[in-house]
Amino acid sequence: MLSIVIPTMNEEKHLKKLLQSIEKQDFDNYEVIIADNGSKDKTLEIAKKYKCKIVKGGSPARGRNNGAKVAKGERLLFLDADVVLPKRVFGKILKEFKKRNLGIATFFLAPIEKSKKKKLASFFFTFFYNIPIFLLEKTLPHAAMGILIEKKLFNKLNGYNEDITLAEDHDLARRAGKLSKYGILKSVRLHVSDRRFEKEGWFKTYSKYLLCEGHMIFIGPVKKDIFKYNFDHLKNKKK
């Protein structure tokens, strides 16, 4: 079984699209676990409609850890709530994951098709994320928006480090890469929202993550809120 874990907080606008894309897959041996951090909108109503398991969330790291604790699958797929899966991907990613003997894997990213500024988003995702992580695949693991990992390996690592305030997913990938084989799955690209870049600005957001990268390499994981990351800062504006 594949256990899909999604941390949420006020994600009614995006969660439904993700759950619909999961429901349309050609693979049914999975469960979906929502780790919710006190949503005030229709997030939980949507999760219940799609028969998801619901656990208490918190920060993204804590929510993912809480979801993993109740997961029944031998593999865990962590997804952000604003991801949309392409058609027929589960079979592809699980086949590639097994064939390459990976313990942990991540994905290249592409903007959701209806993005208002798709060309700009495609440029940034390609040149400022996909190409760099491809070049660093063998030396410095990265992971964002989606992570597939063996549950045994995840438990051995004691999951996500909940003390980290930004890039806890990169930290997990690097720790896992020391114990098992890490790789980028080439058979599928995740479709993701560019909302965080649109809201804060592309250069500001990229600069923030670039500084975070330097901090991780030269000082260590970011455990103070020096980059002012707020799990709820991307919540939808009232219509």
Q: Domain segments of the chain: what residues?
A: 2-218
pLDDT (mean) for 102-113: 93
Of 72-76, 127-131, 171-175, 232-236, give the lowest mean pLDDT range: 232-236
11 pLDDT more than 90 = yes
The reported pLDDT for the residue numbered 236 is 42
DSSP strands (E only) in 80-230: 83-84, 104-111, 146-150, 182-192
pLDDT (mean) for 49-53: 97
- Buried-state track 150-167, b at ≥16 Cβ within 10 A, e below 16: bbebbeebebbebebbbb
Beta carbons of 107 and 136 less than 8 angstroms apart: no
Phi then psi for 109, rounded to 5 degrees?
A: -115, 150
The reported pLDDT for the residue numbered 5 is 98
Beta carbons of 147 and 105 less than 8 angstroms apart: yes
Q: Please, what is the angle between helix 168-179 and helix 202-218, to 10°?
A: 40
The reported pLDDT for the residue numbered 235 is 44
pLDDT band at 201 (very low <50, low <70, confident <90, very high): confident
The reported pLDDT for the residue numbered 114 is 63
In this predicted model, which residue has the larger pLDDT, 229 or 158?
158
The fold adopted by the segment(s) 2-218 is Spore Coat Polysaccharide Biosynthesis Protein SpsA; Chain A (3.90.550)
* pLDDT single digits (tens) 137-183: 999 999 999 999 999 999 999 999 999 999 999 999 999 999 999 99
237 pLDDT more than 80 = no
Alpha carbons 2 and 17: distance in angstroms, whole number: 19
72 pLDDT more than 50 = yes
pLDDT band at 116 (very low <50, low <70, confident <90, very high): low
Token pair in block for residue 182 = 């890490």
pLDDT (mean) for 187-214: 88
pLDDT (mean) for 171-200: 93
Percent of the chain with pLDDT over 90: 79
Of 17-21, 26-30, 152-156, 224-228, give the lowest mean pLDDT range: 224-228
